[in-house]
Structure 1
Amino acid sequence: MKSAAAPSRTPAVVDEYQALYREFHWAVPERMNIAQLCCTRWKDDPARIAIHYEDEQGVTASYAYAWLDEQSNRLANVLARLGVGRGDRVAIILPQRPETAVAHMACYKLGAVAMPLSILFGPDALEYRLQNSEAGVAIVDPAGARNLAEALPSCPRLAHIIAVDGGPEGALDWRRELDGADNVFEPADTLATDPAVLIYTSGTTGAPKGALIPHSAMIGNLTGFVASQNWFPQEGDVFWSPADWAWTGGLWDALLPTLHFGMPIVAYRGRFSAETAFRLLEKYGVTNTFLFPTALKMMMKAVPAPRERYRLKLRAIMSAGEAVGDAVFGWCESALGVTPNEMFGQTEMNYIVGNSAQRWPARPGSMGRPYPGHQVAVIDDDGNPVGAGQTGEVALHRTDIHGHPDPIFFLGYWKNPEATRNKYSGDWCRTGDLAAMDEDGYLWYQGRADDMFKAAGYRIGPSEIENCLVKHPAVANVAVVPKPDAERGNLVKAFIVLTPETARGTAEDAALIAQLQEHVRGKLAPYEYPKEIEFIGELPMTTTGKVQRRVLRLLEQERATAASSQTAGAA
């Protein structure tokens, strides 16, 4: 057994927030390109590592920024030969691997639009995005090749496929194409406001919407990234996150900002597990990470005392997507010696609210404060800011507190001007997330606007109940939704994933349900305890690690409708 690292003793944090927030000013050049910032400017140092790569088969390699720059030049020349020009969309259907970074840099150098797509997308999901975006080229590896092949007949505009390590029949071979291409490329002279990335948001209703993001968003993300990572970069910093680079969390919260600062990022091509996470953190000396609350919960349950088994160098943890909750928050502080910095944002305007535990005190359960450069408020249905302590919708103003344009904003939804207009109330861009802001500017998450529900006249937010339940040793994960009820309107229902130890036990379900209900009843308001609990093998999750409460909510509605029909038939 390895000796435990000395416990971290964090001194009292001096609150520097007001000075940092009020004195910050944006400096966005008229012309800029993400590839120049994240790749080309670092290429002259041959020893500077961009990516440490590892896969499930144990293959490992390290790649320098000079390699990344040369390979992306070669790919840019290949894409140009295939007819890709400024503004054209290139689909990137790749997992965490070096070629993914190369593909992004090549698109930016061309002035084209990189469209990352998850390898988990099925044929229908790929078909919709490829059709809607009118992408002319797709880059894929075996992880996404089969689903892409099924989608191809319905995507006539997709003229070319470049395959890494094999792909659909007729695809161009990545290695052969790049080996035959020139390693010099003259990059496009792009404006900061030119489009760079198209990411389709899953949303909660309707078809996915493509958020078109400009080069300037690279700069707009930096205040939040630097702060949430405790003033990244510092000498020796290494970044890793399991977040898929096809999504905002992996691309804008991990890959691009790490490369922007010329630091190394770990790319792991494989399935996430708590043990794998700790192994990677130790092996690569990871100092900074972004971990979803779901991942942190898994790690907490699997390895309660990690410093007794692993030598860790972690100095910053950012978490987003769901509320961390004080159980996980406390475990990070006591077991990892790191205060987690919660962050809030979305694809359309990322990294706008959060914590920076070394610069201002983190309050467990809070989303944090608006990061420097972002003017954030909680607004009502009419677009007016509400008072301290009142619940409303989190919104971001088009300008910072000095009246200057905020560079974090997306350009609009692809081919959907109506949805773009509906995103705004005047100069406020709505997030669809509910929160309350206290007198010190900390925001407290109340859930998605469509996650809130009423039960017996009380307004219920699921996150507080879920946080309470996950503290119970039998609970691995949980989602709380409304169950339709004729008398109360709704009942509070919890879908619970049990820990493996509990699931293997012989305890009667009824006894465990009563125990879990009492656990909540003793800690929250009487109306918040779950009147009904259902054990489930796994929760429906998005590919970004968020619980899909909507799926469970619809399930309960369908069950209620079926039960009502049976009752009516019997009568």
Structure 2
Amino acid sequence: MTQNPAVSTTTGTATSTTTNQHHDQSQDTDHYRQMYREFRWEVPEYFNIAEVCSRRWAADPMHGAATAIHYEDSEGHCESLSYANLQAQANQLSQLLHTRGIRRGDVVACILPQRPQTTVTLMACLQMGAIIMPLSFLFGPEALEYRLQHSEASALIVDQSGIDAYLQIRAACPALKTLITLDCQAEQALDWHSSLADMPQQFEAVATLASDPAILIYTSGTTGAPKGALLPHSALIGNLPGFVASQNWFPRDQDVFWSPADWAWTGGLMDALLPTLYFGKPIVGFQGRFSAETAYYLMEKYRVTNTFLFPTALKMMMKACATPLQQYRLHLRAVMCAGEAVGDAVFNWCVSALKITPNEMFGQTEMNYIVGNSHLHWPAKPGSMGRPYPGHRVALIDDEGEEVADHQIAEVAVNRYDMHGQPDPIFFLNYWKNPAATNDKFSGDWCRTGDLALRDADGYLWYQGRADDMFKAAGYRIGPSEIENCLLKHPAVANVAVVPKPDRERGNLVKAYVVLAAGYQASSALITQLQQHVRGKLAPYEYPKEIEFIGTLPMTATGKIQRRGATRKSRQYLMMLATGNHCRRGRF
């Protein structure tokens, strides 16, 4: 039914040249231009993520018993799931969902952490032709309610990490007819374990086009509500060149992958889980809070060779253990970093302490894994985003959609077509029920990222900040609009502006400037109250770590907070307050 697309003709030949795990980078030559020029996409007409990530491996007598998931939680419970067992359980869940009326094109939501059942849910929905909407267990009731309502999800699969938040807004989601609970209980819910036990372990998968919708992920918005980016099955193919390159030519025979990135987000799903399964390798899932000690423990125990780590996580690991190879038996051969810039200190520590040159990567939900490094085949420049990965035509464009010259700051954009004129499969299909936002994302064939950069003479991109008000904090992509809207619902808040405040550990902190409503007085108790108000409704990482009360905010003639474009001075005013001194170019 589904062909197995080759990543490129270059990948096979390049793999044979990278046999030395820690070879001297001084011996490297720059293969980039040849690899970029020779790359060709091979996208079949019919393609399904579940087919290539699970069904084909389970059907292979030599591979079915191989481990797909190593799982462990913070209580020490461990289990593993083979590809054959993964597929059998996915078939049972597909059968159950089918009995509940779920069909091709229906949206199925799940609130699950890194655990085997998360992968089972993904495969079950995708092989049915349904659209899977992974939701973070960190979402509070308000964030969850919007996404379930806007997507009109027909079913929800949830465990104890998300059930309390859902039950608070259940009545507001009438389209959701089926609730399946895992290791928790709720009225009129189907129990995962008992319900699946009654289902057959066979299921006839539907044939999906590569361009059919597969995954719905909501991204934080700079203005208005979060937007649902709808990804096709082919988006996985578009991710593969960057994944292979940034992971130093994954896979090798003994490769094992682990990342703390939540599988509900693009980083955890498209940069870790799905590409690892595509290549039939094991991935480690851990359900628990991240710590440096846990990271070292997991990497040593499961002999992890490849990982994706946010720079914030690497900073924590660096501070917790300056010489990890003296204390742990690690088998790392590749580290990919994304979400924020890797500074010289972390970069140099990785090289000296881990014996790994980290490969930085840049992408976003709408078109992921588009720019980055692969130090085995082109030199890494510390602090650079890297070069466009093979298959992606990336440029810096101005407001009119025209390409700019080297050493000029402009917006990063990706063309719908590669350098050979062939369609690039990396792109999202559209924003769910938002054609205007979809149109605004494009300038002709160029898809805008909203991120500013400059390009040097060697083709490396250097991040310069956001073109809008989006920012990163501890690796999470944060839009101020949702936080501001939440704060405005508190009676003490008359107006509010949320901005990033530079932070050595997290890159940025979320800071809120609040204009108080009449009758309220500034106090530390009110700050705590407002912080808890946001934490109770949105995700924990979105609550403002700092709140400052201010008399007025800079406003436009139409009553909007001045942030960008012609109002740059007003935005800089807020940033100057946040930094405590001045607005540093490239941070904001």
TM interval, short-chain normalised:
0.7 to 0.9
Quote the offset at 1:22 in angstroms: 0.6
The match for 2:35 is: 20
Pair 1:253-2:291 in alignment: no
The match for 2:234 is: 216
The match for 1:561 is: 552
> Structure 1, unaligned stretches of length 5 or more?
1-6, 454-464, 471-475, 485-536, 565-571
The match for 1:127 is: 145
Pair 1:277-2:295 in alignment: yes
SS at match of 1:300: helix
* Counterpart amino acid of residue 53 in structure 1: Y
Distance 2:189 2:469 in 1: 43
Map 1:68-147 to 2 at 5 A: 68-147=86-165
Conserved in 1, the CA contact under 8 Å of 2:257 and 2:304?
yes
- Of 54, 60, 68, which residue of structure 2 is paired with 1:39? 54
Conserved in 2, the CA contact under 8 Å of 1:85 and 1:111?
yes
The match for 2:522 is: none
Quote the offset at 1:562 in angstroms: 8.1
Conserved in 1, the CA contact under 8 Å of 2:139 and 2:538?
no
Quote the offset at 1:424 in angstroms: 0.5
Quote the offset at 1:151 in angstroms: 1.3
The match for 2:12 is: none
Quote the offset at 1:439 in angstroms: 1.3
Greater CA deviation, 11-20 or 367-376?
11-20
The match for 1:519 is: none
Distance 2:237 2:426 in 1: 7
The match for 1:10 is: 24
Quote the offset at 1:324 in angstroms: 1.0
SS at match of 1:140: strand
User: 4+ residue stretches of structure 1 with deviation over 4 A?
Assistant: 480-484, 543-548, 550-553
> Structure 2, unaligned stretches of length 5 or more?
1-20, 472-500, 514-530, 556-588
Distance 2:175 2:328 in 1: 50
The match for 2:357 is: 339
Conserved in 2, the CA contact under 8 Å of 1:366 and 1:445?
yes
Deviations 1:462-481 (A, max 9, x none): xxx96xx84xxxxx445389
Aligned identity (percent) is: 61
Distance 2:554 2:370 in 1: 44
SS at match of 1:90: strand
Conserved in 2, the CA contact under 8 Å of 1:451 and 1:481?
no
The match for 1:422 is: 440
Conserved in 1, the CA contact under 8 Å of 2:25 and 2:376?
no
Distance 2:277 2:539 in 1: 23
The match for 2:461 is: 443
Conserved in 1, the CA contact under 8 Å of 2:138 and 2:540?
no
Pair 1:149-2:167 in alignment: yes
The match for 1:226 is: 244
Pair 1:319-2:334 in alignment: no
* Counterpart amino acid of residue 325 in structure 1: G
Q: What RMSD over aligned residues (CA atoms) do the two structures have, in Å?
A: 2.8
Q: 1:399 to 1:229 in 2, by over 3 A?
A: same
The match for 2:474 is: none
* Counterpart amino acid of residue 257 in structure 1: P
Pair 1:263-2:281 in alignment: yes
The match for 1:496 is: none
Quote the offset at 1:308 in angstroms: 1.6
Q: 1:562 to 1:212 in 2, by over 3 A?
A: closer
Conserved in 1, the CA contact under 8 Å of 2:141 and 2:538?
no
Pair 1:479-2:508 in alignment: yes
Q: 1:387 to 1:563 in 2, by over 3 A?
A: closer
SS at match of 1:175: helix
Quote the offset at 1:168 in angstroms: 2.1
Quote the offset at 1:298 in angstroms: 1.1
Quote the offset at 1:11 in angstroms: 3.3
Pair 1:387-2:412 in alignment: no
Pair 1:67-2:85 in alignment: yes
Conserved in 2, the CA contact under 8 Å of 1:321 and 1:546?
no
Conserved in 2, the CA contact under 8 Å of 1:243 and 1:544?
no
* Counterpart amino acid of residue 405 in structure 1: P
Deviations 1:505-537 (A, max 9, x none): xxxxxxxxxxxxxxxxxxxxxxxxxxxxxxxx9
Distance 1:51 1:477 in 2: 30
Q: 1:294 to 1:8 in 2, by over 3 A?
A: same
Distance 1:24 1:442 in 2: 19
Quote the offset at 1:167 in angstroms: 3.2
Pair 1:187-2:205 in alignment: yes
Quote the offset at 1:423 in angstroms: 0.3
Map 1:458-497 to 2 at 5 A: 470=504, 476-477=505-506, 479=508
Conserved in 1, the CA contact under 8 Å of 2:322 and 2:353?
yes
Task: State the aligned residue count.
Answer: 484
Distance 1:417 1:401 in 2: 28
TM-score by length of 1: 0.81
* Counterpart amino acid of residue 410 in structure 1: F
Conserved in 2, the CA contact under 8 Å of 1:138 and 1:161?
yes
The match for 1:356 is: 374
Distance 1:482 1:560 in 2: 16
* Counterpart amino acid of residue 68 in structure 1: L
SS at match of 1:301: helix
Distance 1:270 1:116 in 2: 18
Quote the offset at 1:450 in angstroms: 3.2
SS at match of 2:552: helix
Distance 1:376 1:11 in 2: 26
Quote the offset at 1:205 in angstroms: 2.6
